């Protein structure tokens, strides 16, 4: 009996133990099922760190799309009807008929209930694509491919958040009506990168350049005191949300023309004048321009075919006399001109961030300028000399700050997840590259360009202006006619310079006609903004 009882007891323990294990297993299945089927969620966007301007105003995540999240119900379906395209509405009906929730982009918010809500979701880029060449763009995976998006991809993606709609569901996975819709991840990450760009100055420069009918063009604005790039514009712009539309465009909208080298023409003349003055040649150096001159069998023409007559250095800069500058360059010497240009930053890259750099352009070496004809070409910015709009703008800023060269820069610092600037970038040394007296003379020359010379269309009643025009030969033709790059570069106010600007228009005709008025308008609008 005792053995039988013990056997029965053991059997009962085994049975109860097995039953207990089975019950535990069933309990685990229920918990697991409730975790996976208690809700459904839809992801609509991934937000990443912010690109800020110099005033900590966002250049990304500034505008919004409106999304409606809806549970499968007649009420929600009625609310969406007429708010989306017919094809989208058909898709919504199909999903709802199978018991699925939906999230769709709409134009206006809906009246919210427990079964439908509308939420503003930050959009990555301005609808006008402000500063698109500097900010850059993302690939389909949300990784930076160009510009700041690429250079600072690690920082900008450090605190990504996914915008999601969560819908309650029952144990069978069916969405439950009558309960709210939970929204998560909708807060814009504060971490990011701080640029030197000023959003207002950037938008002013873009709008004025566009209003001028610019096609393939660029403009750069540098703050004179600091060397900070306050605006950087390239045209044509591109759609940051749909890069494929721009890949085969023959005008190459994806490239940043502000950082590309071009034939510069007469905006280089102040550099030649600087080299001459630094050598000790007087501003009273005179030459009789008859309209043309021949060196090494090559005829060089002045834009005034019958000649300017006798000019000194001020008159030659103001009237942009080519033959005067040929004579001045020959007296100055190739080595002095090249060395001065190198000090101004020509022939050297501007590295603005990892992966963002402005071309070095091309500065011929003294050995290449081995004939009077070669020196003649460089004297008015032609021949093999190439420079970027950024380099030209920086050269004008250097003259404006009385010969002190400061390498232009783009990045102010980086922000942590709280939006605090935790790393401030420091840049290259300041170098006095020409004497202050030389710079003062150059500034006087550039004021005369606007006062009575080739740049008179840049003159303003609101702000004093100094600068230089250029109409640069490119060696290219279109429909049998030569293509010219048009330029105007200078600074304002002339007496106490605050900003330097360089404007380039490819195939833009004469710089005096097509670029000087653009400079004037930008200067006036920036001045009005700063005084407001």
What is the C-alpha to C-alpha distance for residues 140 and 346, in angstroms, rounded to an integer? 38
Instruction: Please tell me the predicted confidence (pLDDT) of residue 481.
Output: 82
Angle between helices 334-343 and 269-279 (to 10 degrees): 110
In this structure, what CATH number is given to the domain that contains residue 381?
Answer: 3.40.710.10
252: containing domain: 199-531
Question: Per-block average pLDDT, block size 10, for the chain (532 residues)?
Answer: 39 35 28 48 94 96 94 92 91 92 92 91 94 96 96 95 91 80 92 97 98 96 96 96 89 96 97 98 97 94 92 97 97 98 97 94 96 96 97 98 96 94 80 98 98 96 97 85 93 97 95 97 97 88
CA dihedral 396, 464, 452, 338 (to 10 degrees): -10
Domain assignment present for 523: yes
Instruction: Please tell me the predicted confidence (pLDDT) of residue 222.
Output: 98
Instruction: Please tell me the predicted confidence (pLDDT) of residue 176.
Output: 84
Domain assignment present for 421: yes
Instruction: Please tell me the predicted confidence (pLDDT) of residue 388.
Output: 98
Domain assignment present for 285: yes
Residues 194 and 413: beta-carbon distance below 8 Å: yes
The SS3 call for residue 101 is: coil
What is the C-alpha to C-alpha distance for residues 215 and 208, in angstroms, rounded to an integer? 13
Instruction: Please tell me the predicted confidence (pLDDT) of residue 23.
Output: 28
Distances (CA, A) of 439 to 10, 72, 121, 448: 106, 74, 52, 14
CA angle 203, 66, 199 (to 5 degrees): 15
Quote the DSSP letter at residue 304: S
Domain assignment present for 2: no
The sign of the CA dihedral 249, 254, 257, 260 is: negative
Write down the H helix ranges in 85-243: 86-97, 132-135, 147-151, 153-156, 199-211
Domain assignment present for 77: no
What is the C-alpha to C-alpha distance for residues 141 and 148, in angstroms, rounded to an integer? 17
Instruction: Please tell me the predicted confidence (pLDDT) of residue 15.
Output: 34
| Closest C-alpha to 514, from 483, 485, 486, 482 | 486
pLDDT in tens, 481-523: 888 999 999 999 999 999 999 999 999 999 999 999 999 999 9
Residue 474 burial by Cβ neighbours in a 10 Å radius (0-12, 13-18, 19+): middle
Angle between helices 389-400 and 269-279 (to 10 degrees): 40
Domain assignment present for 377: yes
Domain assignment present for 81: no
Domain assignment present for 269: yes
Number of domains into which the chain is organized: 1
User: What is the value of pTM for the model shown?
Assistant: 0.89
Distances (CA, A) of 483 to 9, 292, 322, 387, 389: 105, 21, 19, 17, 18
Instruction: Please tell me the predicted confidence (pLDDT) of residue 172.
Output: 75
Residues 277 and 283: beta-carbon distance below 8 Å: yes
């Amino acid at each position: 009996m005792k053995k039988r009882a013990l056997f029965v007891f053991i059997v009962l323990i085994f049975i109860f133990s097995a039953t207990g294990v089975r019950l535990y297993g069933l309990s685990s299945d229920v918990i697991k099922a409730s975790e996976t089927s208690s809700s459904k969620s839809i992801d609509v966007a991934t937000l990443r760190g912010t690109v800020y301007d110099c005033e900590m105003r966002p250049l990304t995540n500034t505008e919004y799309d409106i999304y409606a999240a809806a549970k499968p119900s007649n009420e929600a379906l009625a609310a969406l009807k007429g708010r989306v395209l017919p094809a989208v509405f058909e898709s919504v009906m199909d999903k709802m008929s199978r018991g699925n929730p939906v999230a769709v982009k709409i134009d206006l918010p809906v009246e919210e209930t427990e079964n439908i809500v509308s939420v503003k979701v930050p959009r990555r880029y301005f609808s006008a694509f402000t500063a698109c060449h500097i900010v850059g763009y993302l690939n389909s995976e949300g990784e930076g491919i160009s510009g700041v998006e690429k250079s600072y991809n690690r920082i900008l993606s450090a605190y990504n958040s996914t915008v999601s709609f969560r819908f309650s569901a029952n144990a069978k996975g069916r969405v439950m009506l009558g309960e709210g819709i939970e929204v998560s991840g909708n807060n814009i990450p504060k971490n990011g990168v701080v640029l030197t760009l000023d959003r207002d100055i950037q938008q002013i420069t873009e709008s004025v350049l566009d209003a001028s009918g610019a096609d393939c063009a660029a403009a750069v604005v540098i703050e004179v005191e600091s060397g900070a790039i306050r605006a950087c514009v390239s045209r044509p712009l591109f759609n940051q949300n749909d890069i494929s539309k721009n890949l085969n465009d023959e005008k190459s909208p994806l490239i940043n023309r502000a950082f590309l080298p071009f034939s510069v023409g007469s905006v280089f003349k102040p550099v030649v004048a600087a080299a001459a003055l630094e050598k000790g040649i007087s501003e009273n150096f005179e030459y009789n321009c008859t309209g043309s001159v021949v060196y090494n069998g090559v005829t060089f023409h002045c834009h005034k075919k019958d000649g300017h007559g006798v000019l000194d250095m001020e008159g030659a800069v103001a009237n942009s006399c080519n033959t005067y500058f040929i004579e001045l360059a020959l007296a100055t010497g190739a080595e002095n001109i090249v060395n001065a240009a190198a000090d101004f930053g020509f022939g050297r890259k501007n590295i603005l961030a990892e992966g963002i750099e402005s071309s070095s352009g091309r500065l011929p070496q003294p050995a290449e300028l081995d004939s009077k004809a070669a020196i003649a070409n460089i004297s008015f910015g032609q021949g093999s000399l190439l420079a970027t709009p950024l380099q030209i703008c920086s050269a004008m800023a250097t003259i404006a700050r009385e010969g002190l060269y400061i390498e232009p820069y783009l990045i102010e610092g980086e922000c942590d997840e709280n939006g605090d600037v935790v790393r401030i970038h420091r840049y290259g040394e300041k170098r006095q590259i020409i004497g202050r007296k030389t710079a003062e003379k150059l500034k006087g020359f550039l004021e005369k360009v606007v006062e009575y010379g080739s740049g008179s269309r840049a003159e303003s009643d609101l702000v004093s202006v100094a600068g230089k025009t250029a109409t640069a030969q490119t060696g290219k033709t279109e429909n049998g006619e030569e293509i010219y790059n048009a330029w105007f570069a200078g600074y304002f106010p002339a007496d106490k310079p605050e900003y330097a600007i360089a404007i380039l228009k490819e195939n833009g005709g004469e710089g005096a006609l097509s670029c000087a008025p653009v400079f004037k308008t930008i200067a006036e609008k920036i001045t009005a903004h700063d005084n407001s």
